[in-house]
Structure formats: C-alpha cells, structure tokens
Structure 1
Amino acid sequence: MNELNRPLGVKSQARKGPKPARSGNLLGLVSLLFAVAAMGLAGWLYLAKEPPIQIAGVPAADSPSQENSEETEDNPAAPPGNETDDEPADESAAENQGVTGLTPLQPSGNIAVPEPRPPRAAPQEAGLAHLPDPELVERGATGAIPRRSHDGRKPMDVYAREPDTTGNFGVARVVLIVGGIGISQTSSQEAVRKLPGTVTLAFAATGNSLMRWMQAARKKGHELLLQVPMEPYGASGNPAGSRLINSAASAEENLANLHWAMSRITNYVGIMNYQGGKLLSEPGALKPVFDEIAGRGLLFVDDGSSGANRSKAVADASLLPYARAHILIDAKRTRQDIAKQLEALVKEAKRTGLAIGVSNGYSETIDMIADFSSRANALGVEITPVSAIVSDPERQR
C-alpha cells in the first residue's frame, strides 16, 4: 500500500533501515559556515591590532617610552632621578618628544641674499662718446655727478674705450696715462691733437675749460680719468678753496669735496689721485671715499707717486676696481730720462704682460709719448686703455 491508495486514518508502516540524514547534513553545513566566518573574523581582528610601522625617533602610541614620559610628568611615584621642581632633567628629550629624526631649521634672518652682478654694458657709440648718458648722471649740489643706471650699468663700462685686441693671447700691454689736462690750455690742446685715442687722458679737477676739452678728447676716442686732489704728506690743514680730501676732515666734508670734483666733467671711467700720499695711507679716512667711488660705478688708479700706501687693501674692502701705476714717465723732464722710462715700461710689459705708465701733460712728454705710440707695435707692445686691464670685484663674487 502506498501513500496514494492508503485509507484515511491508517498510518503507514515504519520503514526499515536507517533514517535519511538530511537534517544532520544541514546542521553540519551550517556549522562549517559559522566556523569559516569565525576564522575570518579572528584573522581580521588580528591584522587590525598589528602595531603600525614605527619611524625612527617617533614612539608608538602605546609604547613604553610614552608611558614612562607620562609617569615622569604626572605620576608622583616617578623615580627620584627624574624629578625636578623647575625644569625637566633631560630638556632636549622633552623638546624633541614626538619629533621626527629630521631636525627642523628655523629662519634666523641672517641668510645673505646675493646681489645680482652688474651687467656688462657696451661702450657708447663713437658718435655719442662726447655726450653724457642721461641714465648715468645725478644732479648734485655742484652739478652732475656720475652714478649707476637703474638697470645696473656702470660709467666705467659705458665710457670705456674698446682695446684693439681682447683676451690674453700673449700680448704685452702698456697703459699710458697723461695727466694734468686742463691746467695748461696749450698742453691740453696738444695732448688731444697729437696723442692717439689709445692713450688715456686724466683731467685735473682744478683745471679750466674742462667740459670743452672733455668733448674734444672723447670725439678723438680717448678714455678719460678724473684727477682728484688728495692730502699729501706735509700738508697743513685744508687751504681755503683747495677742495682737498683730507684725512683730518669728516667723511661728510670729504664726500662733499669729492662730489665737487666729480661734477667738473662727465664721461670718465674712474678717479686718479693727485698727490695724496697722506690720505692713501689712512684707511679710516680713505674707506668712505673709496666706498663712494665704487658705489657710483667707477674705477680707481693709484698714480704710484706716494710709494707704499694702503690704497690696494682699502680698494679690495670696498669692492673698488683698482690699478696702480708702475712707472712715472716724466719724474725727470729731460728727453733722455723720459726715453729711459719708456724703455723700462716696454721691458716690464714684456716681463709680466702689463705695465702702467703715468705722466704729466708737459709739451716734451706729449711729443715723446706720441712718437712712442707710433712705434709701439714695432717694439712688441700694444697700448691699451686702463679700463681694459682692471678687473671688477663685483663680477668675481
């Protein structure tokens, strides 16, 4: 009898053999799923509690060092060696608590920002050489004085004469400077007319008709210096009207006299001393003068007349382009002596590569330098302007 034709109310006979294990299999499957889930949860919790990677110098959140630090600061039961009423025993450790191994740098305000190097300005065009560059002049109390332009150009570059050759190719160079231009009208005219443009002319600040001679000299191609009267040995005070830069005067007075001299002409590359043995040996009085000359973009030539002095050291401290003459050509005014000095100048140039000779604007000196200049190439030397042999310390920093 099967389930379909069994009469109602009659129970079916019990089955022989073991009962099917459906319910048991279902319970086993559920238990297995719970076990797998439990293992996954345990693994996730284990990984979540893994301590973080520790950076050198940084204690972990629950590291012993932090606990000890808290005990030292807050726990009265801290070891006696770590107790203090005023400041922590290890001040540096307290300051560096929680700081990485890199030491932070605090701004001190002492970092020097380098100033830009002055640009190398091209010299004036030949047709404009007698006219001052309006960007390179400043109106002073006694007239126009030189200055740097707003873009950093210097008068020593703009008013320079290009040398015949550039670079060091074994050329023996001679610088010839003829001073005293403006003292004698006749000698000034002879110097501008007879001397080639390669000879540098130095104008006396106390001379006459200086602007007229300046323009004539620049049109001829000469490079110019300005001779400034400076205190010699044996001078007594500052004679009225001398405009002497004096070691006993204040810096303000000396700068006022310097500005007066500077305003006498324009279009010059630098300053040369007239006398000045005493001043050039007094660094305290000389330094403000050299600072002012350097600040206005000019160079300085020591004419060598005072022997040993401190001008080179002070010029270095002022970042002032500097040169010193080697030979006084006409200390003795005879033609024979002048010829000997010119010969010595050639020997010095061939020995060292450079020689600077300074002379006065005497008629005989002008004639002999003009003759020497015409023979310079045959003698194996090149006459070059002074600006071409002076280095600029500001560009070497």
Structure 2
Amino acid sequence: MLNIADTLHTWCRESRPFALATVVQVSGSAPLPVGTALAVNADGNAVGSVSGGCVEGAVYELCQHVLTSDEPPTRARFGYSDDDAFAVGLTCGGELDVLVQRIDPTDQPHLTAALDEVVSGRPAAVAQIIDGPEELLGRTLSVTGGDSTHDALTGGEDWERAVAAQARALLRAGRTGRVEVGGDAATCPEKLSVLVHTHASRPRMLIFGAVDFAGALSEVGRFLGYRVTVCDARPVFATPARFPHADDIVADWPHRYLAATDVDARTAVCVLTHDAKFDIPLLRLALSLPVGYVGAMGSRRTHTQRVELLREADVPEEHLARLHSPIGLDLGAHTPQETAISIAAEIVAHTHRGSGTPLTWSTGPIHHPLTARRDEGPSIQLVGHGGSPLSSKRFDLP
C-alpha cells in the first residue's frame, strides 16, 4: 500500500473513493512482495502495480468492479500456465493472492492521518485485516512513530490493542509483514490475519574514509534508500563538495563518532580507510554493535594483518566472523564506481540472505519464499475470508 502513498494521500485529502488491490500472499517467483498495491479511482486512473505487468489488466477490472458495487472486499488468486504463457497469470512462475476492497476516505480518516506521516517522511504503520470475520475483512488501523493509534475497527478493545502492538513492533523493526492475532479469549475469539504496512525511517549507511570509493558508494547507497553518512578524521577531505550525495558529512575520529551515533539492525558500516590506526578501534567497536553489516576494504594481505591486530585487541572470534573483508562481491571491479556496485551487491545479498551467485548457475525459484506451484493452468480464483473458494464468482480470462 505504501508504495503508492503519495497518490493515495492526494485522493484521501480530496475525499475521493478508490479501489485498493493489495498483494497479501505470494509463493514461488512472484515478482513483487507482500504489501505492494495497485489503486483505481472513480475516474479510472490507476497507480501502482501488483505483478510488474503480468496481471495488471485483470486486477484493474476487479478494482473497477469492486469500486462501483456494494460488494465486500474479496480476494483473487493468480497462477501460472505452463500450457499458455501468454494467458492472464504469472508468467514468471509464481502465485499471488490479491485483496481488492473499496476505500472511502471519509469513513477512514485515520488512513489520511497515517499517509500524512508517510509523505512527510515520518514513521507510520497501517495494519490491514486480510483474513478473519467477514465484517472485519479489509478494515484498517494505523499507528505512528509517536505511538499514537488511530483505528477504523469495530469490536473489542483487547484485540484492537493486540493489533496495534504488532503494528508497533514491526514499525520499530522497519519491516512490512503478516502477523496472526487472536484465537484466544484474552484478545479475540476468532483468529485474525493482519498485514502490517510500515514506513520507517531510512536505514543508515555509515562510510568511514573520505576517499574516491566513498564518493561512489555514497551515491549508490542513497539510490538504495539509505541515509548516508561519510566520516573521516581529516576535515580537509570530509567536505560536502567532495560528497554531494551524502546526507551527513562528519569530521571526527571514526570510532568516536560511531560510539556517539544511533545504529540498529538495518545499519551498514563500510570501512574504506584501510589504515590500522583508524580501522582497529573502529572495527573493534562496530563488530560488537547490533548492526546489520560490517565490511572493510583492503587486500587479502591487509585483511590478514587486520584480523591479527583485532585478535590482539581481544575481539572474540564470533565477532570476527561477522566481518566482510575484503569488502564486496567478486565482480572484477576496478573503478570506484564498479567497486561501489560490488559493495552494495554484497550488502543486498547479506540483507536478504542471497547467495550472490549468478542466477544462471542456480536452480529453483528466483525469489526465496515458498516453491512455486506449476501444476495448475492460468486462473483467477476468488476466495473467501477463510480461504475457501467463492463458487458464485468467476472471471473469464482472455
């Protein structure tokens, strides 16, 4: 949903009803992740995508149907055809479930408030009921970074608080995900499946060493959505003119700056100084922090010497195992720009547990979630809130 926050914010501010199609479940090589959405307003204007192009036409028609009718939210399942790869379906080989619902902003003012936060760059989360009692399917609740809660739900306060708690937890982690709530007397007798859409603050990329490689990496890091900081102990080199793509330029000793700044599990620390007087105190600290990635530049000889110095500094072996050095993937890179791509590729692979090997060398699904099912032909199957088919609904495929 938040992939199209800017347009949804405009429509909500104008009180314009729209149909929202949200990817709520994927398997196999589905092209876009859970939480991605497409929306259609009453003028027929569409924004967003649910499949990268494979089934957009069919989803657009479903949106128009739901928008102009009084029908409740419904789910459509899209699958792959081995017999006819040009049929409506996922030619990439996966399956996805899409929840299609009508949203009237006047009935859900909290959604406008959440989108206000998102477009202003502040953290917010929207929890969407994607499975559960029919009267609650598609209903939403939102929380902001200040722990404010706004809801459009009706029912017991206990399970509303449970949904809000799950939304806050995912917002703190900066992760969109599906959670289960209820199924017990303490919260809600009926089990709810909730998709939490989050907009968190940008993850941080801390680059130490004001060198040419840092300039290229800061540009790539910003392109990937990181808030980039370049830090160097030499003020003459740590200047905005040299690093126009960095969000912050810091002239300070690297380990002293790292000790004073905020980091989390999404932070990437890239040490490009390859100078022991900077590297050793910096890496000793970085490897002890709960950051997502720590990499250091240098030759294999430099790496060997660096590890020995870290051992002499009493860095535990389990901490040394976290160090990516020499930094980056083997792309045959030579220029600063090529090296920056190599480093960024390793960060992406590490973050998503990718192997870093060419896809032509591997087998199985391209995307890591559940194995794709290829035993069914092209289909759009509408399912009820409990997952059972709605036999009264059928859409003929071209």
Fold equivalence (TM over 0.5)? no
TM-score (norm: length of structure 1): 0.24
Higher strand residue share:
2
TM-score (norm: length of structure 2): 0.24
Please say which structure displays the higher CA radius of gyration: 1
Higher helix residue share:
1
